[in-house]
Structure 1
Amino acid sequence: MVPLEYRMAARVARALREAGEPRPARELAYRALAMPSVAPTQLERVIEPVLDGRFFREEGALGLWEWRYPFPQEGEVLVVLDLETTGLSPSENEIIEIALMRVEPGRVERFVRLVNPGSPIPPFITRLTGISSADVADAPDVYTALEEALVYLEGAVLVIQNAPFDLGFLRPRARRLGVKIHNEVIDTVQWARRALPRMRRRGLDHLIRAFEVSIETGARHRALGDVEATWTVAREMYYILTAGEPRRVLEV
């Protein structure tokens, strides 16, 4: 269950992005919260408790700090990464898809590769991801795919949802290529503990619901779709946690 105030805040943020400029709280409450039965004089009281660190006040209007400072900061490079695998065990299962998004101010690069795991993909994984053994029959093996992917990690802070899982697969395979992954890591699960303290569950599906992130049909549980979703929720949480005080990601 996602606390209602988180979803209400997401709707206020969306209404502001649609407006593209600061708007009165009363107007935002009416537009975003669909509460025409509430008296106009009470609307601002309704909206006030849901506002978090993403919002600023200016001359009686509300705005978004994302309009005032960027994420990431100048000189920072982030790589959002996700893997799809044949199971939960790094020693017994294999990667079947790698995706990442390298983000720096003014530039975004995306990388995605299907991977041939060298054995049949279990039916329940195909049901979950939509990736079948036929899809990966002509795909490169994990080491060939990793040689391409690891180039994008240079000089970057990694942003990963539930980082221990992905790194558990990634690091030992990179070592076999003679590469040590020593990048700093931001785990969005840990950010969620502070940004959304009333959330009992912090899986990606729950964060997507809390921020009302729009996901294309079939994109969830595909590596690039999950990368895009992780990037969106990380960005929202960055502004909640910085609350008008620009900081580099490792200082958040």
Structure 2
Amino acid sequence: MQLISFSATGWESWDVAQQPLIREQMPVLIDDDLLLEDAPGVPRPAVFVNQWLRELPLNGSPAPRTWQNSAGCLRDWLTFLKGRGVSPLGSRTELRAALSMYAEYRLGGKLKDRWDPTTWNLNMGILSSFYTWARDEGIAADVPFSYRVGRRMADGVLVEVERNLSKLRTPRPHTTIKYLERDFAELFVRGLAGLGPDGEPDPRYRGRGGPQRGDGRPRVVQWSASTGVHTPDDLRGAAAAVPSAEATRAVSAEPTENGGRGASCVLPSGSVW
């Protein structure tokens, strides 16, 4: 299937009465044989896809890049269905089976064909939008997706939202941070060393130990133990805060009724269990 960008340049020589009502840079899909109908009055699926694409600017998508992404998604989907003998406007049961195979193809197939979860979700959103439009226009019998209705707050108002169940859950952005920006990392290291932003000794610095917390360990030792960031001084402080083996005793609970192992912990020798 071919994907081109429309241009009205030279339309006067096209043997048409007036300029086509198609926007500049609007993507157009057409089969490799350059035909739009299987027979007179029997349009191919690409005709309906092109109609949906032309309406994107009226449905909240004014950017040409969005049109291209949508056209590329539909092109890949139509090509996949054609290779398996499935009509893009067929029954819901058949299309859902094809979507299941498409997920295997895009998420577990060859490396060159795989998509990451974000790309997969983007494409599922585009397909869902197309099939919803096709159903509303009477072109398709139903939408081959399942949805779950939920509620969320928007501007202080509780509204209902639909979630496409074919979309994958992705981690929140802050959980994917793997490094610090260079300027912030330099400031962070200087702070640990007792230096100010300019690299000069900070007169307010009182050592790495800092004030004690309720458990007797310095704040920096607690912070290092919880984050995994350690310096030699932190490790020495943490080692000093750990009680010796002679001052502790191990306590184990009885096995649970279902055969599980009882919980165990370490207590100070003078504590009462």
- Shorter-chain TM range is under 0.3
Q: 1 or 2 for the larger relative contact order (CA 8 Å, sep ≥6)?
A: 1
Q: What is the TM-score of this pair, normalised by structure 2? A: 0.22
Q: What is the TM-score of this pair, normalised by structure 1? A: 0.24
